[in-house]
Structure 1
Amino acid sequence: MNAPLHTVKTSPDGSEATERPGLTLLIAAPRGFCAGVDRAIEIVERSLERYGAPVYVRHEIVHNKYVVDALKAQGAIFVEELDEVPDDAPVVFSAHGVPKSVPAEAERRNMIYVDATCPLVSKVHRQAERQIEKGQHIIFIGHAGHPEVIGTMGQVDEGDITLVETVEDVATLSFSQEDDLSYLTQTTLSVDDTAEIIAALEERYPQIVGPKAEDICYATSNRQAAVKIIAPGSDLVLVIGAPNSSNSLRLVEVAERLGTNARLIQRADDIDPAWLEGIGTIGLTAGASAPEKLVREVVEKLAEWREVTEQTITAAEEKMVFKLPRQLTE
C-alpha cells in the first residue's frame, strides 16, 4: 500500500523530469446524500419556489456547511428557535426532527410550516408514542444534545424516557426487572456500538422490548459497511462531513477501529499534503449530508499532487426515495 518512490525520467531536452507517485483511491459506495437528505433539501427549495424568499429554516436543514450556504444564497434564513421567525413567514423544520412543542407553537401562532423530518426519524417518533401508550418506560440510545435526540425525546412527556449513551450508562440505570421497559435508538449511531449497548440492556433487563426493526437507518448502516470494506486496504481514510454530523463521525470511528488512520474533512482545502507522505492507498467516503460535488473536489485536489487511480467499492445498492409533503406537491 505504500507509495512508490519518485522515479526519474529524461526529458527530450536532456533534463531530468520527476514523475509523481501513484495514489490508489478506494471510493466507498454508497456514500454522500441519503434519501432523507435529498428530500429535506428539496423541501427547502420547493418552499422557496412556492412561498418566495425568505423561507426560514429551524436549525441546519442537514449538517453540512456547503449545503446550508447554498440554500442561504437562494433565500433561506437559518435560525435556532421559532421565536426568531416572524409570524407571517414560512418555516421549515430540519431533517433531524423536532419536539412536539415546536409544531404546536407554530400552530398557535398560525404559522405556515413544512416538516422536513426524515421519514425514518418520524418512524422512531411514532414508535415512542406507541411504547408510551403500552405503559412502557423508554430507554433511548443516542448522543446527548444531538438535534435528533432532542426531537425524539420531545415526543413524550418528560420522565417517560431515559437517555443512555454508552454500555457504562446501562450499569447506572435504577430500573428493576419488574419494570415495563422498551428501547429505541437514534438513527445515525455506530452499528457496532449500538449492538453492544442493546446487548447490555437485554442482559440486565431480560424483559425489555425493542422495535420490530432496528432504528439505525439503512443509509447509516450501508455507509459504515462500505468503510469496513475499504479501510483494511487503505493507509488513510478520508471522510467528508461536518464536525457536528453524527453519521460522518461514526464513519471515522469505524475506520479507526479497524486500525486505519482516518480524518474528517469538510472540503478538499482541509487536506494537508503532508498527510500523503508514505501513502499509497486512500479510502474515501462521505457522510449522508455531504454532496457528491465535494467528493469530486477531493479527488481533483489529490490529483494535483499524485497520479490518481480510482476504484469504486460497493457495499450495497440504494434505491430509497421519500415522498415530499403534500402541501408542496398539490
Structure 2
Amino acid sequence: MLANPRGFCAGVNMAIQTVDEALKIVGTPLYVYHEIVHNRHVVARFEEQGVVFVDHIDDVPSNSTVIFSAHGVSPEVRNAAKSRGCTMIDATCPLVTKVHMEAVRYARQGFRIILVGHAGHDEVVGTVGEAPDAITIVESAADVERLQISDDVPLVYLTQTTLSMDDAQIIISALEDKFPQIKSPPSEDICYATTNRQHAVRDLATEADLVLVVGSKNSSNSVRLTEISENIGTRAYLMDDVTELRDAWFEGVNSVLVTAGASAPEDLVQEIVHHLEKTYGGKTEDRLVVEEEMHFNLPVTLRVMKQNA
C-alpha cells in the first residue's frame, strides 16, 4: 500500500525550488543557513551543485547570498546576516512564519507563551528567538507539571508545526488542566501536511503487517509517523533510502504500508517500491486518504531577483 498523501509538502517544495532558482540566478557558492529541509539526500544533492550549508551565520562570508531554511530563523540571525551585508532569501515555510508572528504578538501583549515542541529543533530555536524572555518550552506532560506560574499571569500555548497530533494533545490537555485560563492559538499550529500524513498512517497502518517510512532521522515529522504506527501496533522502520532495507523485516509479512515524511523525495519512495515488487513479487496499491492542493509562492526577494536577472 502506497499512502497518499506522502512526501513533499508545499513548504518543502517552496524551499527546494528556492534553492534551485537561486542557483540559477546567483550561482555558487550559495549559502544556506541550516539544512534547507531535514533530508540527507536533498542536502547532499545540493552540496554536489555547490551549495554550502552552515550552522553559524558567521560562516557566511560578508556580502554573500544566504537562504534561510524552511524551519525559520530568529531575528538575531537575520540581524547578523544583515550586518554582514548579506542578501537574504527567506525560505521559511509560511506555516512556521505564522507561529513566529503569533509569538511576537502575544509577547507584545504581555502573555507568557508555553511552546509545545522539541528543544533544540531548528524550528523551535527560531520561534523562541522571536521572544526569548516570554517563551517556555515544554516537551511532555511531566514538563507541564513542573511549571510554576502564577494564576494572574496571562498564558497562551503555541506548538511546533511538525508534532504528533496525539502527543501534542496530551501535553495541551495537561496545560489546560493545570492552567484553565490558558489561551489556545487562533488556529491550529500543527501544519496541514503533518496532520494529513499522520491521518494516512493512522487509517492505513492497521491493514499492514509492516510500515516503512521514508525520511531522515532528524526529520521530526518522519519520526512521528513511525511512532504513530508503533502506537497502533504495527511495526515500523524509518529509513533514508532502499539501501537500509533488511530481508529479516519481511519474514511472515504479507502487506506493507509505504509512506514518506514531508521532506523525503518521491524518487526514494519509488526505489523502495520497485525493490519490494522485484524482490518479493509485491503488487502496489495506491491508497488516497486526503487530497492536498496547497501551494506557496517563492520568497519575495527571490521573485524580485528573477525579474531583474
Q: TM-score, normalised by structure 1?
A: 0.91
Shift of the alpha carbon at 1:51?
1.0
Amino acid corresponding to residue 262 of structure 1 in structure 2: A
Shift of the alpha carbon at 1:159?
2.6
Q: More displaced, 118-127 or 108-117?
A: 108-117
* Partner of residue 131, structure 1: 106
* Partner of residue 250, structure 1: 224
Q: Which has the larger radius of gyration?
A: 1
* Partner of residue 160, structure 2: 186
- Asked if structure 1 preserves the Cα contact closer than 8 Å seen for 2:64 and 2:85, the reply is no
* Partner-residue secondary structure (3-state), 2:120: coil
Structure 1: which 5+ residue stretches go unaligned?
Answer: 1-25
- Asked if structure 2 preserves the Cα contact closer than 8 Å seen for 1:177 and 1:206, the reply is no
Which aligned segments of 4 or more residues in structure 1 are displaced greater than 4 angstroms?
none
Answering whether residue 175 of structure 2 is matched by residue 201 of structure 1, we say: yes
* Partner of residue 303, structure 1: 277
* Partner of residue 71, structure 1: 46
Answering whether residue 23 of structure 2 is matched by residue 54 of structure 1, we say: no
Q: What whole-Å deviation, never above 9, does each CA across 1:287-326 have from its counterpart, x for those lacking one?
A: 0000110110001111231111111121211100001112
* Partner of residue 120, structure 1: 95
Matches within 5 A, 1:10-29: 26-29=1-4
Query: Equivalents in 1 of 2:203, 2:134: separation in Å?
Result: 40
Q: More displaced, 299-308 or 114-123?
A: 299-308
Q: More displaced, 204-213 or 299-308?
A: 299-308
* Partner-residue secondary structure (3-state), 1:70: helix
Query: Equivalents in 2 of 1:314, 1:170: separation in Å?
Result: 37
Structure holding more helix per residue = 2
Query: Equivalents in 1 of 2:80, 2:280: separation in Å?
Result: 55
Amino acid corresponding to residue 101 of structure 2 in structure 1: R
User: Percent of aligned pairs with the same residue?
Assistant: 50
Q: What whole-Å deviation, never above 9, does each CA across 1:144-177 have from its counterpart, x for those lacking one?
A: 1100000000011x33110000011110000132
Q: More displaced, 204-213 or 218-227?
A: 204-213
- Asked if structure 2 preserves the Cα contact closer than 8 Å seen for 1:176 and 1:205, the reply is no
Shift of the alpha carbon at 1:209?
0.7
Query: Equivalents in 1 of 2:62, 2:244: separation in Å?
Result: 40
Amino acid corresponding to residue 295 of structure 2 in structure 1: V
**Partner residue of 2:5 out of 5, 26, 30:** 30
* Partner of residue 5, structure 1: none
- Asked if structure 1 preserves the Cα contact closer than 8 Å seen for 2:277 and 2:283, the reply is no
Matches within 5 A, 1:121-160: 121-156=96-131, 158-160=132-134
- Asked if structure 2 preserves the Cα contact closer than 8 Å seen for 1:50 and 1:328, the reply is no
Query: Equivalents in 1 of 2:54, 2:38: separation in Å?
Result: 14
- Asked if structure 2 preserves the Cα contact closer than 8 Å seen for 1:190 and 1:250, the reply is yes
Shift of the alpha carbon at 1:48?
1.0
Amino acid corresponding to residue 279 of structure 1 in structure 2: V
* Partner-residue secondary structure (3-state), 2:195: helix
The number of equivalent residue pairs is: 304
- Asked if structure 1 preserves the Cα contact closer than 8 Å seen for 2:63 and 2:84, the reply is no
For the aligned residue pairs, the C-alpha RMSD in angstroms reads 0.9
Q: What whole-Å deviation, never above 9, does each CA across 1:192-213 have from its counterpart, x for those lacking one?
A: 1111111111111111111111
Query: Equivalents in 1 of 2:151, 2:252: separation in Å?
Result: 55
Shift of the alpha carbon at 1:81?
0.9
Amino acid corresponding to residue 318 of structure 1 in structure 2: E
Amino acid corresponding to residue 212 of structure 1 in structure 2: P
Query: Equivalents in 2 of 1:226, 1:191: separation in Å?
Result: 13
